[in-house]
Amino acid sequence: MSKITVSTLNKMKAEQQKITALTAYDASFAKLFHDNGVDVILVGDSLGMVLQGGDDTLGVTNQDIAYHTRSVRAGSRDLFVIADMPFMTYSNPEQSCKNAAELMRAGANMVKLEGGEWLYDSIVALTQQGIPVCGHLGLTPQSVHVFGGFKIQGRSDEQAQKMIHDAKALEAAGAQMVVLECIPSELAKLITDALSIPTIGIGAGKLTDGQILVMHDLVGISAGYIPKFSKNFLLETGNMPDAVKKYCADVKNGAFPSTEHEFK
């Protein structure tokens, strides 16, 4: 497997090759994913729920993400690693650059920020300093208390138009990828078609440029609630390597996500 870069991912979008992504938090799973076809690993602040047992992601610190990014990078030198910037670590350009630098030094190839047009100045500053940025629109878990829970976003015309506007603003600021979470499939397609940078969907249908799942959902070991958009690939295959291979194959050939995993 050759090293995956931003250029690799842009080429995949241009050639309509689906991008496969999973969350990971340690070296062992990073190596497993590397060896079985995953293109991108996200060191997600989801660790606050699936590893730390929290009700949301808000308790995760930049030091937590840096620690797990270092661990993931040790498991794979070639995978493209995105590190989440946690809650309130990027409220202004100066803070964004300081905290993103810590994650890049830990081994990230890119940092991910939740939010729309208001991030413009921070994204400009980050990219000027040589830090690639992934945006995140739709259900942004750090805003869970504003949304009143984990709810589907973008169903009204007003919300949809704002999200399209925000996506274009993120790209104009210099973002090189956008995650779309829990939005109607039709809206995800509109955004994907409007951008020249790759979109990665989670609960956003199959017409994005790639897919991501939380690894615990992939193997059916998430505590409590299992999202509609997830699938237990371990149940189908019986072992971890084959579960990862099956997920990657199904994303690449369009079998996953299916209509049962999407929102209207």
**H-helix or E-strand containing 28?**
helix 27-35
Alpha-carbon Rg of the chain, whole angstroms?
Answer: 17
Does 46 belong to an annotated binding site? yes
Q: Say how far apart CA 1 and CA 137 lie, in whole Å.
A: 30
Establish whether 7 is an annotated binding residue: no
Q: CB neighbours (10 Å) of residue 67?
A: 16
Annotated binding-site residue? 45: yes
DSSP states of 59-100 as a string?
Answer: T--HHHHHHHHHHHHHH-SSSEEEEEPPTTS-SSHHHHHHHH
Q: Is 84 annotated as a binding residue?
A: yes
- Element of type H or E holding 170: helix 157-173
The backbone region for 130, taken as left when phi is positive above 0, alpha when psi lies in -120 to 50, beta otherwise, is left
Asked if 181 is an active-site residue, the reply is: yes
CB atoms within 10 A of CB 13: 20
Catalytic member of 15, 102, 171, 181: 181
**Polymer length in residues for the chain:** 264
Q: Give the separation between CA 228 and CA 242, rounded to whole angstroms.
A: 22
- The helix (H) or strand (E) run that includes residue 49 is helix 47-50
Closest CA to 45 of 25, 60, 30: 60
Q: Indicate the SS3 state at residue 181.
A: strand
213 vs 64: CA distance, rounded Å: 20
Residues involved in catalysis = 181
Annotated binding site for Mg(2+): 45, 84, 114
Annotated binding site for 3-methyl-2-oxobutanoate: 45-46, 84, 112
Annotated binding site: 45-46, 84, 112, 114
